[in-house]
Structure 1
């Protein structure tokens, strides 16, 4: 088996975001063909790969809708990898979290990861492809003590972590490797704007996170599965 991504088809949900753009860029450098679902009618202006030959954008894809997820994955030829970066974040004291807000976090983070993983697994099994799945949990998802003030978010990311390990165990015989990364604070423009007094040097760079994700999604990863990779930087 070749250890490159040249010509391999990879889905990147959340691919038009800050981390998504870094991941798509790293995959393109390695020759991958990136399929990027977008919830809106057009890609955001800041997405730099809209016209790239190896980027296939699909618009109006609601990743919480099972039918739309299945339809999106059905048009990807011989799927090799599926990377799930789409998600959301919310903070609130536990006594102020409404049921709808909790459900929204579970839908945005855990449900989308499940639906996309399931669609990817179905595609890989149908084509007998020993592919790769990469989810994104969070530091708080692995250590809930860090989830004070963001209980709904922490619960949703803990669910992603648990699903990742369970799926990896279930799919061992098929050779499909399932892993997740668990970042702490990522060094994004939005996070810098929200926390202007923080020490940005302690945060995780988008390039470092993208490199780890690209490795887990690559055929060079021959043995890692069921792993929750901490990306904590210097925090």
Structure 2
């Protein structure tokens, strides 16, 4: 697998999964462009990756300007998002809108802008979640489940819309991943069963790569043994 110096956008590229994806992309000769919502990103700089601070992914004008500034891209990988687990009685419209902005609206805007930078085709990879495929497992996290289900629906519909243009759109649906934050939040869980971020990154890498010639409209479960 070789990206051959192609440009790839990775939103959420400074998080646990994002770092694993960016490292894998660089190892396979991609050039990574990473938008960050913080005004001054202090993440370590890596050869083959550039961080763009102060970009709000739920703001259409900012997203459009970011992608236009990069120029032609091969792939856009949308890892940015946020989790919320509360019973619906303890949530309200503001909570729902926040989850839609963080997970669905940001993904929609990045998909929309990325397509303008793919005149010769390309790849888009989104991140749904296990409750998007199994909504009953979203009990206690209803607003999150709604937002991630929207990402799954967006992925499938868009995949049909742009296949004729040579753009293959897919998503992964992770269960709980093995990250330091998740281990701290759930110290008594069986961490060995959780998928490792490097393992999830490998699936993302294939879907975004030139080696993926036919897969589109898939919501790929990356559950490990959990």
TM-score, normalised by the number of residues in structure 2: 0.98
CA distance in 1, matches of 2:190, 2:107: 31
Unaligned 5+ residue runs, structure 2?
none
- The residue aligned with 1:22 is 20
Which residue does 2:6 correspond to in 1? 8
**Residue equivalent to 2:157:** 166
Could you say which residue in structure 1 is the equivalent of 2:41?
Answer: 43
Alpha-carbon distance in structure 1 between the residues aligned to 2:152 and 2:53: 28
Kindly indicate whether the alpha-carbon contact (under 8 Å) linking 2:71 and 2:117 is maintained by their aligned counterparts in 1: no
Indicate if the aligned counterparts of 2:40 and 2:53 stay in contact, CA closer than 8 A: yes
The one of 75, 88, 93 aligned to 1:94: 88
How far apart, CA to CA, are the structure 1 residues paired with 2:221 and 2:60? 30
- The within-5 A match list for 1:74-113 is 74-113=68-107
Residues 1:212 and 2:203 are matched in the alignment: yes
Q: Kindly indicate whether residue 171 of structure 2 is the aligned counterpart of residue 180 of structure 1.
A: yes
Note the C-alpha offset of 1:175: 1.1
| Alpha-carbon distance in structure 2 between the residues aligned to 1:53 and 1:172 | 32
- 2:178 and 2:197 in contact (8 A); partners too: yes
Contact 2:11 2:80 in 1 (8 A): yes
Give structure 1 stretches of 5+ with no counterpart: none
Contact 1:16–1:43, Cα closer than 8 Å, also in 2: no
Task: Give the distance between the partners of 1:13 and 1:98, measured in 2 at CA.
Answer: 27
Deviations 1:158-210 (A, max 9, x none): 00000000000001111100000000000000000000000001101001000
Matched, 1:143 2:134: yes
Once residues 146 and 203 of structure 1 are traced to their aligned partners in structure 2, the CA distance between those partners, rounded to angstroms, is 16
1:201 is the counterpart of 2:192: yes
Q: Which residue of 1 aligns with 2:32?
A: 34
TM-aligned CA deviation for residue 43 of structure 1: 2.2
Matched residue count: 226
Q: Partners in 2 of 1:102 and 1:41 — Cα distance?
A: 25
Contact 2:31/2:48 (<8 A) preserved: yes
Q: What is the CA–CA distance in structure 2 between the aligned matches of 1:76 and 1:143, rounded to whole Å?
A: 37
State the partner residue of 2:225. 234
C-alpha distance in 1, partners of 2:45/2:123? 26
1-structure distance, mates of 2:147, 2:45: 34
1:122 alignment partner in structure 2: 116
Structure 1 residue ranges (4+ consecutive) displaced by more than 6 angstroms after TM superposition: none
SS in 2 for 1:179: strand
